[in-house]
Chain A
Amino acid sequence: MGLLDKEFSDGNIVIAKVDDLMNWARLSSIWQLGFGLACCAIEMMATSASHYDFDRFGVIPRNTPRQADAIIISGTVTLKMATRIKRLYEQMPDPKYIISMGSCANCGGPYWEHGYHVLKGIDRVIPVDVYVPGCPPRPEALLEGLLKLQEKIRNESLRKKTA
């Protein structure tokens, strides 16, 4: 996309489509809800820490759903928790994005058969944008998931929300 290549010679004026500008702003500051569930949350925290540095993509954990753009479902979702996650999701302002991290959040993972307490996939409760496979996924995998989400946001239109 690129915004700066449309720069005029004096450097003070940039021409861009509103879509591109909004998308650029959104994808560059995906503030995630500070929310972890299980072992995937440890990997998510490692991704946030200095070595993998989520912050370089503009991802900052927020303490309230009302200030968050994205929620990373990082771990096993029990039926008890699923009702709470739904509530959190509904409290987030639009536009909101969901990354489902790890096998448990994707499809129930190892609990798929005998987990009487586990929701077999968070997409049964809230709409998922990006699924990150792994058990748990390495930080690189989560970063790739985030890049996929950014790609998705980059192609959004104001008239029609796709992600």
Chain B
Amino acid sequence: MKKTEEIFELLKTEFCEVILGLDKETPTEPIISVDSMQVHNVGAFLRDNDELNFDSLMVLSGVDDANGIKVKDEDGIDMISGGTLSVYYHLHSTSWKHKITLKISTPRQNPKVESVYNVWRTSDWHEREAFDMFGIIFLNHPDLRRILMPYDWEAGYPLRKDYKNPEFYKGMKVPY
């Protein structure tokens, strides 16, 4: 069983600048930040290293950090410009019984992350959900399409902080 600090040091020696930092000031577990284009390599290392053996991706979740500037578009509707969207990976080792949390951030205007589908198959539907709700593009995902909302949903990504629900969907009134 390893502490997050030890895992962080291991990753740092293996990947150098790909590992962006360790945040220990969180109310829950410490979070390791990773480069969004290298997260699949970091994941493969975490899974295959005998001392770490993170064989289980418990959950993958998207987050809208809403840390951009609030602006109004031409119709006077509040929008968020700039800032980031994040993806959190909660990992668990069933043999060593230790856990860590990985995090990547990606620009809100063009959110792209490498998929970890080839490391943990669990991530298949989790990534589809993060795509559905936040519009985060997971590169090299085999089947990245909406999972919960209708396939022809054109009103955007519902869990973004500046999401506006449409008036109608296929002739059905949506607001109360």
* Whole-angstrom CA separation of A125 from B173 in the bound complex: 9
* Chain B residue, CB-CB nearest to A112: B176
Partner of B176, one of A82, A83, A113: A113
**A54-113, CB < 8 A from B:** 79-80, 82-83, 107-108, 112-113
Among A115-123, A133-141, A148-156, the stretch that binds chain B is: A115-123
Which residues from B are CB-within-8-Å of A124?
A: 172-173
What is the size category of the interface that chain B forms with chain A?
A: 10 to 19
* Whole-angstrom CA separation of A112 from B174 in the bound complex: 10
Q: Are A117 and B172 in contact (CB under 8 A)?
A: no
* Whole-angstrom CA separation of A108 from B172 in the bound complex: 13
* Chain A residue, CB-CB nearest to B158: A116
B70 to chain A minimum Cβ distance, whole angstroms, is 20
Which residues from B are CB-within-8-Å of A79?
A: 150, 169-170, 172, 174
Q: Are B175 and A117 in contact (CB under 8 A)?
A: no
Task: Using known A-B contacts A117-B158, A119-B172, A124-B173, determine if residue A80 contacts B165 with beta carbons closer than 8 Å.
Answer: no
Of listed A80, A83, A125, residue having the most chain B CB within 10 A: A80
Judge whether B163 is part of the interface by a CB distance below 8 angstroms: yes
Which residues from B are CB-within-8-Å of A119?
A: 172, 174
* Whole-angstrom CA separation of A108 from B176 in the bound complex: 8
Which residues from B are CB-within-8-Å of A112?
A: 176
* Chain B residue, CB-CB nearest to A119: B172
* Whole-angstrom CA separation of A124 from B167 in the bound complex: 13
A106 to chain B minimum Cβ distance, whole angstroms, is 12
* Whole-angstrom CA separation of A147 from B69 in the bound complex: 58
Q: Are A125 and B172 in contact (CB under 8 A)?
A: yes
Which residues from B are CB-within-8-Å of A83?
A: 150, 170
A128 to chain B minimum Cβ distance, whole angstroms, is 15
Which residues from B are CB-within-8-Å of A107?
A: 176
Task: Using known A-B contacts A116-B163, A116-B165, A117-B158, determine if residue A80 contacts B176 with beta carbons closer than 8 Å.
Answer: no
Which residues from B are CB-within-8-Å of A82?
A: 172
Partner of B148, one of A108, A117, A120, A125: A117
* Whole-angstrom CA separation of A107 from B173 in the bound complex: 12
B165 to chain A minimum Cβ distance, whole angstroms, is 5
Judge whether B59 is part of the interface by a CB distance below 8 angstroms: no
Q: List 16 A-B contacts (CB under 8 A).
A: A79-B170, A79-B174, A80-B149, A80-B150, A83-B150, A83-B170, A108-B176, A112-B176, A113-B176, A116-B165, A117-B149, A117-B158, A120-B173, A120-B175, A120-B176, A124-B173
Q: Which residues of B contact A (CB under 8 A)?
A: 148-150, 158, 163, 165, 169-170, 172-176
Q: Which residues of A contact B (CB under 8 A)?
A: 79-80, 82-83, 107-108, 112-113, 116-117, 119-120, 124-125
By Cβ-Cβ distance, the 8 closest A-B pairs, closest first, are A80-B150, A116-B158, A112-B176, A116-B165, A120-B176, A79-B169, A124-B172, A82-B172
